[in-house]
Structure 1
Amino acid sequence: MDAPTRASYVTEADALDHVAGFCLINDVSERAYQIERGGTWDTGKGRDTFGPIGPWLVTRDEVGDPQDLGMWLDVNGKRMQTGTTVTMIFSVATIVYYLFEFMTLMPGVVITTGTPPGLGMGMKPAPVYLKHGDTVELDIEKLGTQRQQVVAHEEISRLCQVACKGLDGALALEIRP
């Protein structure tokens, strides 16, 4: 496998040739930002501690078919999300190809692809949101497992009053490994 290089306007058939590997990313969202502060996803996904990545990068040849991987997410030991990459709306190759149509991608760029069924905000009869002290554990077959603890804004502020002068008061939660 050759090392990925700078590329643009790549065909869908060749898109995966420009992927170095795959890794696990916790697609953390702060729904108050998304819903109450303008309704855009970027404000709710772009906090400093969101999107933990790892535990490692698995090369494309070690993964095999990226559209055939099981995945799950637990909160406090309870299974909240289960799925496989086969149920993705768009394949990895399609997503990479689509991005190449609009921009040049450089080695090291990380592309996230979404989440399996079972979003907390979609739970019935009422949404289920992460809260202070929750433990989140997630896994994708062949890519490894992550575990984080949720820390609420108030706790972050209390812990950082001296050490973190100027802490953004809007930070609603933190994800800790």
Structure 2
Amino acid sequence: MEYVNDSDTPLNVVLSARSFSVSETGEISYRPLDPGIHLKLSSTSFRVQPHDSFFVFYEAKTDSSIAWFVIYAAFSGFAFRTQNGMNVRLELPHTVYLLPKESLDKSQVAITRVAFDPHARKILVEVENKGDYFGRAMHTFVTASHQKAEGPGFPVFPHSKRRIEVPTPDMQRPEAVVVDFERFKLEEKLGP
């Protein structure tokens, strides 16, 4: 990891690692690093001089076949303060996924729910991963005759569900939802 200081003042950086979970709606909750994750950092605190950079190397292993965590870099020493005179501290994440060579395939994941809310002009999409592997949806598309709305990509963690909402401001009646993964697509038609 490279930490760059483009400012005119030196910055202090302290690194800390945390495990995290993602809810069905995408809310992230952090906790102390799981004991099954073994992390070695070349440095945990350092100073980056003005207009310079600092490299930190790490080695991570897990007792299980799959794990994920975040390494937060807390920056302090900025030259500016808030109106109340408080110092500013900035935390930037570096997310690490320890994954096996195998990956999620189409038979392990499915669109389990699609619901159109015509008043709010959005579609709720629920995707379930029944497999043991991590996957990532690259895009979500909602289609209607000659119209397309694009929703975000999102991670799909093993043995979990994920719900997203896709705004459809100009669609009268969406016809299909397509969730696009790296090697396959899932499609669900909407009824009349």
The normalised TM-score by structure 1 is: 0.33
More strand by share: 2
The normalised TM-score by structure 2 is: 0.31
The one of the two structures with greater contact order (alpha-carbon pairs below 8 A, sep at least 6) is 1
